[in-house]
A and B are shown apart, each in its own frame.
Chain A
Amino acid sequence: MKALLGLAARSAWARRGTLALVVFSIALATLLLLALERMRADVRESFAQSVSGTDLIVGARTGSVQLMLYAVFHVGGATNNIRTASVDAIAKHRAVEWVVPISLGDSHRGFAVLGTTPDYFKRLQYADHQPLRIAQGRAFSGDLDGLYDAVIGAEVADALGYRLGQRIVLSHGAGGLPGAEHADKPFSVVGVLARTGTPVDRTVHVSLAAIEAIHLDWAGGAPMPGVVIAPEQARKFDLAPKNVTAALVGLKGRVAVFAVQRFVANYADEPLMAVLPGVALDELWQVVGVGEKALLGMSALVAVVSLAGLVAVVLAGLNERRRELAVLRAVGAGPRHVLWLLAGEGVLITTLGVAIGIVASVLLIALAGPWVQTRFGIALQLAPPSGAEWGLLGAVLAAGVLASLVPGLRAYRLSLADGLSPKV
């Protein structure tokens, strides 16, 4: 068997020009499958890490996925704000340990601006219930002295090269519109958070009062003509927020989660909803799963096409090799040896292709990982293949072995029929 594999390898090497193309296409298919699976797993991991510690997200009635996406991932938009009074009422519920209101809508150079209370830095957790950590500086105080203080995530600091004391200007909405900037009230960076691998890294945090202050002289998404309120003047206004976008809620015990959820849903003064982040994530994956399956299906098809190419190339070469098979028969090879020789060649090619695909996927993740992290906030893990990835690799190899049996069996039949006199 070992001798046959050696022969198969040398025979394949002699035809390396054509076979290299097959190896290349199998490697590409493997790369596609692996990269897709890694991306899928890491996106889920990354999302799941972002919602640990928060038991409920409260907001205006909308889809639960939409509320979670906006409140935690700053993706999409809110249908409506909720009243601060409602948030206070929820905070008074006996099962509730803490409530952190958040206010979204503005941005800074593509990064979301989040208005919140100093409690946010104490309460929010990520990954395996780890608290946020301030790497440099301090949190904003939340009072009028520190009105224009900002705390930035690690990614914001890295991408924009910001340090403590940096003066920054917030843009109204998603930014990009000329004139829609809060240039009159610049903020200064007082703290930089340690990296978390969650959307926190890509967020500029300011106090709720600051959000009120920069919008004092704004109405309907534009500065009010003729009204100018200077930064210092703003401190004289009532900056207590009337509305916020959503609130993150922590409970004293997980048992009460449905009771609180019901309480929020039945809240009389305002239509509200509370979602469990984990449940909302599951819903999201159900929706996204269809697309993932389609992508996986496409990649599987690419793999099938590559293996069909393998079969075609080996079969096409077979007719020219009938003399070779007769020589092998003459020196004592049986038809089954011939089968293994051809199948072994296919298996070698598939294995080589898969191996190259693995190496390429590692290189791709190593090279593109930092870019994906900054661009999409998803940390791609450079880790040994997961169970699902081994499954995919095994499937490609198994399919390769099966595909290799096609030319193998053809050669078997040919060598039985030809014996020592190939009909060529």
Chain B
Amino acid sequence: MLEIEALRFAWRGAAHDTLQIDSLAIARGETLFLHGPSGAGKSTLLGLLAGVLTPRSGQVRLLGVDWAALSAAQRDARRAEHVGYIFQQFNLLPYLNVIDNVLLTTRFSARRGAQAAQHAGSAREAAQSLLQRFGLDSAIWPRRAAMLSVGQQQRVAAARALIGRPELVIADEPTSALDAALRDGFMDLLLGECRAAGSTLVFVSHDERLATRFDRRLSLVEINRPVPAASAAA
């Protein structure tokens, strides 16, 4: 589903590669817990997986297609179609209401809209049923995102990432702004919905207590290793 091969990535102007990953494969429907210290390049890796960044060399393939083989516009369209993304915080457009924030994805991908409509009748109904499953009742749907609590915002963000059943959901420390009770509830809902949708989940966090709930646990420090000079030369 998601494959990395001989990945080398360096930020522009940087003397050394930030990421050097020889190979990594993530299966369809797998839930992966990725951890590592700050500055290890977690967010950079997520940017590469989502096709926002492209590697200096090597391949990152989603559903068999190398991101680097696509034009920038094609990558954007492909991301809208196949990827759901949850940030640590500030996931929502403050001036849109809850429903419109969830439907934002479908504005950029007709296919995601169609997929959502397929199961629920219409994209809007799909958004509503997702919100309900995330414990957000209809009273708050017309509210602007800026009026929500952080916990509610993260659940709306999860609903947006999941609408239209994307093949890949990427979550970048989505629970770090939540307290313990909210965090556990959020994790239950996110994992449950990903499994229900058959989506692959790549979840980044410092909080290793969460790792047990995932199919696989991976340390970025362990897979991100400089390749020996000899093989690099070869």
Query: Is there a chain A Cβ closer than 8 Å to B18's Cβ?
Result: no
Complex formed: what's the CA distance from A301 to B32 in Å? 60
* Segment 323-363 of A: residues with Cβ below 8 Å from B: 323-324, 326-337
Is the pair B95, A13 in contact by a Cβ cutoff of 8 Å?
yes
Complex formed: what's the CA distance from A324 to B94 in Å? 8
Is the pair A335, B93 in contact by a Cβ cutoff of 8 Å?
no
Chain A, 224-244, contact with B by CB distance < 8 Å: what is the 0/1 string?
000000000000000000000
Complex formed: what's the CA distance from A10 to B104 in Å? 13
Query: Is there a chain A Cβ closer than 8 Å to B77's Cβ?
Result: yes
Q: How far is the CB of A359 from chain B (nearest CB, A)?
A: 27
Chain B, 64-88, contact with A by CB distance < 8 Å: what is the 0/1 string?
0000000011011101110101010
Is the pair B72, A334 in contact by a Cβ cutoff of 8 Å?
yes
Query: Is there a chain B Cβ closer than 8 Å to A223's Cβ?
Result: no
Is the pair A332, B47 in contact by a Cβ cutoff of 8 Å?
no
Is the pair B108, A327 in contact by a Cβ cutoff of 8 Å?
no
Chain A residues with CB below 8 A from B109, complex form: 332
Complex formed: what's the CA distance from A230 to B36 in Å? 116
B: contact size bracket: 20 to 34
Query: Is there a chain A Cβ closer than 8 Å to B119's Cβ?
Result: no
Is the pair A420, B46 in contact by a Cβ cutoff of 8 Å?
yes
Chain A residues with CB below 8 A from B50, complex form: 330, 420
Is the pair B76, A332 in contact by a Cβ cutoff of 8 Å?
yes
Is the pair B52, A3 in contact by a Cβ cutoff of 8 Å?
no
Query: Is there a chain B Cβ closer than 8 Å to A419's Cβ?
Result: yes
A: contact size bracket: 20 to 34
Complex formed: what's the CA distance from A211 to B9 in Å? 99
Chain B residues with CB below 8 A from A336, complex form: 73
Given A420-B43, A420-B47, A421-B47, A332-B96 contact (CB < 8 Å): no
Chain B residues with CB below 8 A from A11, complex form: 93, 95
Chain A residues with CB below 8 A from B107, complex form: 3, 7, 331
Is the pair B87, A419 in contact by a Cβ cutoff of 8 Å?
no
Query: Is there a chain A Cβ closer than 8 Å to B160's Cβ?
Result: yes
Most buried by B among A3, A10, A333, A334: A334
Is the pair A420, B92 in contact by a Cβ cutoff of 8 Å?
no
Chain B residues with CB below 8 A from A13, complex form: 95
Show the binding face of A for B, using Cβ within 8 Å.
3, 7, 10-11, 13-14, 323-324, 326-337, 419-421
Show the binding face of B for A, using Cβ within 8 Å.
43, 46-47, 50, 52-53, 72-73, 75-77, 79-81, 83, 85, 87, 90-96, 104-105, 107-109, 144, 160, 172
Q: Which 6 A-B pairs have the closest CB atoms?
A: A332-B80, A14-B95, A332-B108, A334-B76, A330-B85, A323-B90
Taking A11-B95, A14-B144, A327-B90 as known contacts, 10 extra A-B pairs with beta carbons closer than 8 A to each other, sorted by chain A number, are: A10-B96, A327-B104, A329-B76, A331-B80, A331-B105, A331-B107, A332-B76, A332-B80, A334-B73, A421-B47
| 20 contacts across the A-B interface (CB closer than 8 A) | A14-B94, A330-B50, A330-B79, A330-B87, A331-B80, A331-B85, A331-B107, A331-B108, A332-B79, A332-B80, A332-B105, A332-B109, A333-B80, A334-B73, A334-B75, A334-B76, A335-B72, A419-B53, A420-B50, A420-B172
